[in-house]
Amino acid sequence: MAVVDITSESHFNELTTSLPSSMPIALSFHTSWAAPCTQMNAVFSYLATQFKDVAFLSVDAEEHPEISETFDVSAVPFFVFIKSGKVIRQLSGADPKVLSAAIQELSGQQPTNSHAAETGCGDVKKESTAEDDLNSRLGKLVSAAPVMLFMKGTPAAPQCGFSRQLVGILRENQVRFGFFDILKDDAVRNGLKTFSDWPTFPQLYVNGVLQGGLDIVKEILADEPDYFKNLST
């Protein structure tokens, strides 16, 4: 089936309850301003033409925060896979091969031999490339939106006072920002400390460049109250 764009929470609930219970569901969460979503939306649409036994649903995470919060969406692009009414897997990030393999698994089809070869590397190779792969992923994540906040929890439900304060500052300054819940991913949580040489959270990035944590952002605004207004994002 073609990708269905969800228009409201009630639309989502009606659609998911009307589908056959045996039909797997692939959810794509995205925003219009996060560049990686553009590529992954195209991949998601293509896969919808290849797997007729899967329902492909597209949700604008910013327009429908109530749906995003239901599935603990921590960043975009973000994918959720449901089978027999249960979430069986979640993916965060823009990797077409991983998305394709996940939907193959969801549909019950076996991965192709070429993909199996790509993912069936030996332990030695995995160990030697793990750090490079993580750094590559972190580089993409910090640039996923013009302003990216790595925090504990989500903007709707911060899990620490510092994160809550920084979200408040961004909202007071009417800054549109992407976010990543570092409590959902230990690799990102620990990797960013080395990647940016900054040991604590939250961490705020502008155009892929670390600005600092809560105290640094407060200092920046004290010196330059219009800092966020002057950003060329």
The per-residue DSSP string of the chain comes to -PPEEP-SHHHHHHHHHHS-TTS-EEEEEE-SS-HHHHHHHHHHHHHHHH-TTSEEEEEETTT-HHHHHHTT--SSSEEEEEETTEEEEEEES--HHHHHHHHHHHHTPPPPHHHHHHH---HHHHHHHHHHHHHHHHHHHHTSSSEEEEESEETTEESSHHHHHHHHHHHHTT---EEEEGGG-HHHHHHHHHHTT--SS-EEEETTEEEESHHHHHHHHHH-TTTTTT---
Quick one: pLDDT at residue 1?
65
CATH fold match for the domains 4-118 and 124-223:
yes
Quick one: pLDDT at residue 217?
93
**pLDDT values of the chain reduced to their tens digit, one per residue, 233 residues:** 689 999 999 999 999 999 998 899 999 999 887 777 888 888 899 899 889 899 999 999 888 888 988 888 877 888 999 998 899 998 887 778 888 889 999 988 654 433 333 333 344 444 446 667 788 888 888 988 889 999 998 888 888 999 999 999 999 998 988 899 888 888 888 889 888 888 899 999 998 999 999 999 999 999 999 888 877 54
Fold of 124-223: Glutaredoxin (3.40.30)
Domain ranges of the chain: 4-118, 124-223
User: CATH 3.90.25.10: does it fit domain 4-118?
Assistant: no
Give the pTM: 0.56
